[in-house]
Structure 1
Amino acid sequence: MPTLGKLSEIKDLRTVWPHEALDFTPWLADEENLAMLSDTVGLEITLDETESNVGDFNVDIYATETGTDRKIIIENQLEDTDHDHLGKLITYASGKSADVVIWVVKRAREEHRSAIEWLNNHTDENIAFFLLEIKLYQIGNSDIAVKFEVIEKPNDWTKEIKRQTSSSATLQARYDYWVAFNEHAFNDEAFARAFNRRKASTDHWMTLSVGSSACHISLLQVRKDNTLTVEWYITDDKELYQKFYAHKAEIETEMGIALDWRELPDKKASRVIITHPAEFDNKDKWSEQFEWAMDVAMKMKKAFKKYL
């Protein structure tokens, strides 16, 4: 019989992160750790800045939902929740016009859990409040494991997709395709290491974070053309596009793929794309489509990130 260890919880978070601003915030802002938080709340979070100014105060982490312009603030507390931090949270959300508010704490007191629940029930449907506890575990002298536990989230977070898909065959088809893609792609170890899982939606696109708020990878179902598209999307930086374009030959050689480079003249965004025939209504063809998109996305991230 193998020897089994005993799982123990480390109650004092400050044995690992002595200081919130100097230790925990930089740790959470790291791409790998932010991806773990992203997976927990079901959002693709891209860091904009840490200790971001809000009047005379600073919010711990200011971020963006990848693929949208939804702004996210994250406030950290290595102690039990208190009124002071709740007040700061609302102040920061107002000052940053945040769409998503995430409060990461050691322990959520009942009155503050109720407050976050009340905010979710009485604010606009486009605003989301999350309350999470952070837990530390260890077996003997093993490496310490981190886990985020969701204490409060918007009540309609999971219901909204069901509501949308029930009203449209097209939306249902898009959603089913992305659900199947996630099941296929994130069972692949290499792909799961390269990208954080994105919640399936009824949109015709799915975004994948590349660790920068300036750009991301998008997968697009273009059903009217029966094509699946993978694109490197630069949100609002023509100089960055030109920097990539200056290395066009090196990028395409490394990927082994000819790309379609598009600097959109009437928009701030730029795109670098490649398309593939797709029979969206033939589920027997989905695996081949998924494998193609996964391969291109991984090659694209590796090739482009050298010039970020």
Structure 2
Amino acid sequence: MTALGRLERVELRAEWTKEDRDFTPWLAREENITLLGETLHMSLEVEQEERRVGRFNADILCKDTGATDAGWVVIENQLETTDHSHLGQILTYAAGLEAKTCVWVAAQFHEEHRAAIDWLNKISIDEFQFFGLEIELWRIGDSPAAPKFNIVAKPNDWKREVGRSARSMEPANLTETKRLQLEFWEALKVRLSGHPILRSQKPLPQHWTTFSIGRSGMHMGAIINTRENRIGVELYLGDDNANSYFEQLELDKETIEADLDFELVWMPLPERRACRIIGFHPMKDLSDKRSWNELQIWLVAALEQMQQAFARRVKSLTSEAR
């Protein structure tokens, strides 16, 4: 009989000494925010770490890209047992950012704070939701420590609502266009299996899917536009410094475009808190699945070129430049 290992609990401070310096950057990484999102049945995408809210900073601001309105998600971290201060902070951040979802992650929840989360869910209308999660670290022998999130407080009927949402996403309940979008992204995810750089989010019945670019508040995206019969790839800049970042990248426009096999459309969108840099490719009809191979070959090559052109540049962008 094969010998089995024994799970051993690891102290959180053994891995993360400081919440702001160690734990928040760790949680904001794509693979870790994805793990948290899977626990909550959300498709979380980090918009910004240490997001300024008046005189304070929210630990992590995310979008739930799987939601129909891509609502804001505020995450507050605590490597100790919960306290009143952090409860007040997450409510302040939610109000300041008009977030619809609040996630409080802590080492352990006092029963009073668990009850407070339950009460907030009870008195809130359906579009607002509050979660309390305890994080644990475990290892077997000398293996690396593995994180585990446990939900200790959640919205009323959350499991039922998750099930209802999942059923609404089933192909039989989708429009023809949404069903084709879902199948297209599922096929693209299979094609990208094992790719060293490009990892797409969970396929959803929507006209876009996203890819990490290595910096919070921005990402690469792949797009299907059935109204104009074209597909595309984009760099999306989406925080308070978006227009400043766009201007910095535009200074290097000629060099960037010289390294690409397709033209870019530069969209500053000064009236919005976001900017986009997009390249398009014609598409005859998404329902013609025989064309999907050619379309996906173009998407992968274009995303690789966008990664090569922008990954290094976005990491060097500064918020001070205007």
Q: What interval of TM-score do these two structures reach, taking the shorter chain for normalisation?
A: 0.7 to 0.9
Gaps of 5+ in 2: 315-322
1:245 equivalent in structure 2: 250
Following superposition, which runs of at least 4 residues in structure 1 exceed 6 angstroms of deviation?
66-69, 164-168
Distance 1:110 1:239, change over 3 A: closer
1:188 equivalent in structure 2: 192
1:226 has 2:235 as partner:
no
- 1:64 touches 1:213 (CA, 8 Å); kept in 2? no
What TM-score, normalized by structure 1, do the two folds share? 0.76
Gaps of 5+ in 1: none
Q: Distance in 1 between matches of 2:64 and 2:253?
A: 24
Shift of 1:136: 1.4
Quote the sequence identity (%).
Answer: 28
Q: Deviations over 1:93-144 (max 9, x none)?
A: 2233323211112244666555435534542443332333322121211222
Q: Distance in 2 between matches of 1:167 and 1:182?
A: 16
- 1:186 touches 1:197 (CA, 8 Å); kept in 2? no
1:16 has 2:21 as partner:
no
Q: Distance in 1 between matches of 2:30 and 2:172?
A: 37
2:135 equivalent in structure 1: 134
Answer 1 or 2: higher relative contact order, Cα 8 Å, separation at least 6: 1
1:63 equivalent in structure 2: 61
Shift of 1:185: 1.0
Distance 1:252 1:150, change over 3 A: farther
- 1:113 touches 1:151 (CA, 8 Å); kept in 2? yes
2:303 to 266, 281, 297: 297
What TM-score, normalized by structure 2, do the two folds share? 0.73
Alignment of 1:58-137 (within 5 A): 58-59=57-58, 61-65=59-63, 70-82=71-83, 84-108=85-109, 112-113=113-114, 115-120=116-121, 122-137=123-138
Distance 1:167 1:185, change over 3 A: closer
Q: Which amino acid aligns with 1:233?
A: Y
Distance 1:205 1:260, change over 3 A: same
2:219 to 211, 216, 221: 216
Shift of 1:35: 4.7
Shift of 1:291: 4.3
- 1:137 touches 1:146 (CA, 8 Å); kept in 2? yes
1:273 to 273, 276, 279: 279
Q: Distance in 1 between matches of 2:204 and 2:122?
A: 24
Q: Deviations over 1:152-189 (max 9, x none)?
A: 5552345346458899854x532552365146416734
1:174 has 2:183 as partner:
no
**Root-mean-square deviation (CA), in Å?**
3.8
Q: Distance in 1 between matches of 2:187 and 2:115?
A: 34
Paired residues in the alignment total: 302
Distance 1:278 1:195, change over 3 A: farther
- 2:230 touches 2:280 (CA, 8 Å); kept in 1? no
